[in-house]
Each structure stands twice: as C-alpha cells, then as structure tokens.
Structure 1
C-alpha cells in the first residue's frame, strides 16, 4: 500500500524517540499489513550496560538489529495457550473437565486457567525461599509448591491475571504427556513455523538483548536467560515466560495467528482463542469481575492501554515486548524492547506500544 514508506518512517521516529527519552535502551519492530511486511525498524542498543551494571562507553555497546533475540516474557503465554489447545485438539487434554491435579480447589478447568478465571493469585513466589537459603532449585519441589497455592477468589467469579495459572497449564501438559515442556512447545508450535524461525527457550547469549542487573539474586546482568524469576527457578522454560525471539520471527507467529493457525489448531479451537470467553465463564459475576477488557483462550482482546483498537488481539510482556494481531484490519505488529535494562523501575513502555499501534491503524485509514 502507498502509505507503507511513510508508516515505516513514522515508526522509526517513534522508536528513536523512545530510546532518546530513556524509555528503553533499544527497540525493534516488525509489521505486516495485509501480508506485506515493512522493513524491520531498529533503534538503540541491545546491550548498553556491562556485567557490573555500569553503562558502557558507546564503542563497547551492542546495537540492536533484526537478528537480536529478546526475552518475550509473558508473550510466551500465547505459545503456551496454543500448545495446550493443540493437546485439546489431540484428545490429550480436556478444555472443560476438572483438571486432574489439585489446583486450589476442585472444579478448575483448562478454560478457567486460559482465561485467568481460576481464582488463583497473580504470582507464585515459591522460588524465594530456596534462593534465600542458597539451597538451589528443585523443580519437583517447586512445582509441588505451585500446585499447593490457595485461591484468592471463588472459582469463575473474577478475572485475575495469573502467571501461576499458566505455569499450572505447563504442569498439566507435562503430566498428561510425560514429556518436558520445551519439547511440547517445539512440537506443537515452533516446528510448525518457518524452519529457521528464531524462537527458542535457549538463545545464543551473544545475540540476545540484556535485561536486568540482578546481583541480589546472584545473577549479575541477565542476558540470554529468562528474566522472570519464577520461570528461571523452573529451569528457564515455563508456561508463563521463557521464550526468546527476534521481531521478524514473532511476526511470523503473529501472521500465523491472524490466519487461524493452520497446521497447529482446528478452525474451531483457533476461533475460540479469538472469541471473548469472559461473558460465558464469569456469567452474572462479569460486571464486578474486574475484567477491563475481553479475553479469549490465551489472547487479550481490545486492551485499550496499548492496542489502539477493540478488534485487536494479542499479549504484552513485562520486559517491554508485545504482539498485536487484528484479523479485521489485516495487521500484525511485533514490538520488542528491553525496557528493564538495567533495572525494572526504568520506565513504562505502554505509551510507546500505544503510539506504534495507533500509527499502524492510522496508516490504514
């Protein structure tokens, strides 16, 4: 379309400004409009601070480019949802039967977990005690602690965004298949994309953007390993976080998602990801459920703070990442940044996400 060069220039200005204003050390954006891809937009340094947390001289920094791997953080949850739903399509998991592990109370289903309506708390911090004791992480013991979490709301009455719930999905999948989580994600999602798709739980640290300086956890400057502490304690690959990817590779996934995930999910299941589940799941509790936006099976719907349209679907991540897809408008946007480098209190990248989304929608109109 004729507006694409102007859109590309506008997005470049937005990312350059975000870096210059100190919102994030770097950002990379990949956009597709009706299947036509813009050249990848890059700005800033994927590594600006050294192993000791001190800012590097300009000549020692690592510039971000289209091949830079970013910690996708909670964008991983979309891959988790697709993996779990592929197991539903295959008859291995059930969407609406009570899950066969103790999760707070009986009656919790996979649909509850995928829509954040299980009543489980937002986060699980079982990793803190062994870290403080210097005892090392025992994955089995940590998962047992995770599954023992007490609910904070009655089942199916409130929307409570829950990383703990998505890690529970991982446990369900592992127990049902007897296979490790990274294998399942690779088989059901990653292998169905382009053969060289740069999406992985184990990126090359030398090609990865750095995230946070965490000397208090004995990690130093985190680079090439997952930033999220819960995922880190569970071995780096989990249901709530752990995937790394480049912007073009995440865009590949976004385009597959926009097209209905052919070869991954049945049309009916793929459509359920796209369809708001909250009215049916929450029922009479919906008006007081705390749900400020819709939610499909793993996808946020029309989140006004950054999506820019009620027809958009997608997910964002704590490290500064996001994926937006819109079937009606024909667009996919992968925006990656490392706004937590060198510390998580650095900035709020949400206005940048919103500005990028609005720029793309404006170009279409």
Structure 2
C-alpha cells in the first residue's frame, strides 16, 4: 500500500469514528477502489467488515440491472408502453408510460405509494397480491416526461412489471439476473439477522427494533426485497457491484444497455422541463448523476445512488474510483443527521487521494 493509500485509509477511519462519536450512526463501514487498488475495508462503531447493512434505495440499482437484463433477453422493452403488458396501464395518460420513464423518474407517478398503511389501519395482514394491485392503480400526478419526480412507486412498478411478464418472483429474478453473476456472496435480500446492523425502533408498527428485515415500509409490506428497497450488503460486497458497474457489467448486461445506464437521460427526455443548473438533477437509467451534496465537489461526472438508511455507492469512470459507504443512521430513530455530511466528506477525501501524485 502506498503512503497516499495509508493516509486515505487513516482519513476515512477518522471520519467513520467521528460519525459514531457524534451520534450520526451507531455503525459505519466503507470500502474503496482507486484504479486497480482495492483498499482494506474499514468499519467503525458496532460494525465489522462482515456487517450487513440495509441498502435502502441503493437497491434501485439492482432493480435497474435486473430490468435491463430482461430487455437484453427480449422479455421487456425499454421504450414500449408498459400497458401492453399491464392492464392497469392501458388507459388515459398511464398508457404512455414506458420502462425508460420508470427508470428515470419521469413517468409522472408520485414519490411514494402508501397503500400498505390501509392494511395496518384496518388491522389486516399484508396481502401481497392485493397490495401490488393497489400499487398499479396509483394514478399519475403529471403526464409522462413533463417533470422529474423521484419515485419509489415507479421502481416497485418495475418489479410488478417484471414479475407479470416472466411469471417469476422478484427475488428469484434479481438472484438469477444479477447477484448470481457477481463475484461476491455478500449481497442478499435475505440476510441472517445476527449479521445485520439494526435500523429503526418502530413499536408503532409492531416491529420493535428492525434488524435483518427491510426498513422501508412499502418494501416490508411487499414481502422484503422489492423494486425500491430490500437489499442488504457489506461494504465490501457493495464495492464489488460498484466495480462491476464501473467496468460495464460484463456478463450481466450488453455493452449498449450498460452504456445507457451511464448516459445522462434527462436533457433529451424533458426538453424545456430540464434544469441543467440543478446539480442534483442528473439521471441515467437508475444511476443518479452529479449529486454534489454527497458525491462531493469533484464528483461532477460521478454516478451512483444513496439510501435513506444512510448508505451510498459512488462510481466515477473519469477518476477510476468506487466508494461504498454504509451506515445505519436511522437507528434507533430516523429524525437525526441524514449522513449527507459524512458521505460528502468521504467522497472528498477519496477524490483528493486519487489526485495525490504520491
């Protein structure tokens, strides 16, 4: 390990320890790739390199790759109206929605689907089939490609579409199309509880301290691993996925679709509704672009995704780096620091390490 890498490891360890000491999160872990160098995994607080974290919305990247693999195999189409497969999308403005719209949050769907709340309010057990039907009945809030609105509902709709077309449960599709083709076994939708960092204490939902079960309530109601959330990983495991994304997902996606993930989609799709001055507005297929609040000031060409639980994956081809940063910042409550400051600080030190000539 070079002197630069030793200093970088020391800086990251200091940031993670400070995160724990300041009460941002009780556990944190980070794994970095710089060029050809895979730095040692770093953990702080109630975590080790073997600790699994709830990835929250970082799961959307796995959803994207799973869906695009079905495009590669001819089972889905990127730009065909999904109403050709889903009856709930055959009428009105919904009849124009495509998979590309869903992957870029331009479908017009609302940010959240909260149909699961009705089951809890009425004291009923979750019925996944009924909940998926309710999800698919969600009305649009705007016509397709007239706005960008980050939508968990849209990514669960991708899950429902894929299951409907293939007749295969979502978890099995993700395993077959993505996880089984990665060089790691440290990413899963069904972790062992004792290996997981806990998330939120939720007695009002009858869950107590959530651990080893997806924190996101919509995904929980749908059975766990879903289109919007539900994946668990160690920092090292997520780093393997990030490195695969950086390399174009060989053996998983065709080069053309892997490139489409990376390409900025919104200028062409939104036209005059696109605001290039907004640094958090860039989006490929599934991949968020140039989110400087956490990707850092040098991350203008970076791609990746963050998660509500305090997780993030950053990849940057220009600089040849991957940063997997995992925390459980929602434990035991969600109303504290959202870990954006930590994520930016780690991004900044990694970029500075990459640019250090020593």
Distance 1:284 1:44 in 2: 47
**TM-score, normalised with respect to structure 1:** 0.93
Counterpart contact for 1:82–1:189, Cα < 8 Å: yes
Change (3 A) 1:270 1:203: same
Distance 2:168 2:273 in 1: 37
Following superposition, the deviation at residue 105 of structure 1 comes to: 1.5
- In the alignment, does 2:165 pair up with 1:176? yes
Distance 1:297 1:154 in 2: 19
Counterpart contact for 1:159–1:289, Cα < 8 Å: no
1:88-146 C-alpha deviation (Å, 9 max, x unpaired): 01100000000022246111000000000000000000000111211100111101110
User: Which residue does the alignment assign to 1:54?
Assistant: none
User: Which residue does the alignment assign to 1:107?
Assistant: 96
User: Which residue does the alignment assign to 1:253?
Assistant: 241
**TM-score, normalised with respect to structure 2:** 0.94
Helix, strand or coil at the partner of 2:15:
helix
- In the alignment, does 2:64 pair up with 1:81? yes
Distance 1:154 1:255 in 2: 36
Counterpart contact for 1:278–1:295, Cα < 8 Å: yes
Distance 1:270 1:354 in 2: 26
Matches within 5 A, 1:1-365: 1-45=2-46, 64-99=47-82, 100-101=85-86, 102-103=88-89, 105-194=94-183, 196-287=184-275, 292-308=280-296, 309-365=299-355
Following superposition, the deviation at residue 2 of structure 1 comes to: 3.9
Following superposition, the deviation at residue 291 of structure 1 comes to: 8.1
Change (3 A) 1:287 1:176: same
Distance 1:8 1:183 in 2: 37
Distance 1:321 1:292 in 2: 17
- More off after superposition, 354-363 vs 280-289: 280-289
Helix, strand or coil at the partner of 2:348:
helix
| Cα-Cα RMSD | 1.3
Distance 1:327 1:89 in 2: 23
Counterpart contact for 2:279–2:291, Cα < 8 Å: no
- More off after superposition, 113-122 vs 98-107: 98-107
- More off after superposition, 272-281 vs 98-107: 98-107
Considering fraction of residues, name the structure with more helix: 2
Unaligned runs of 5+ in 1: 46-63
Unaligned runs of 5+ in 2: none
Change (3 A) 1:15 1:166: same
Q: Hey, which bits of structure 1, 4+ residues long, moved more than 6 A?
A: 288-291
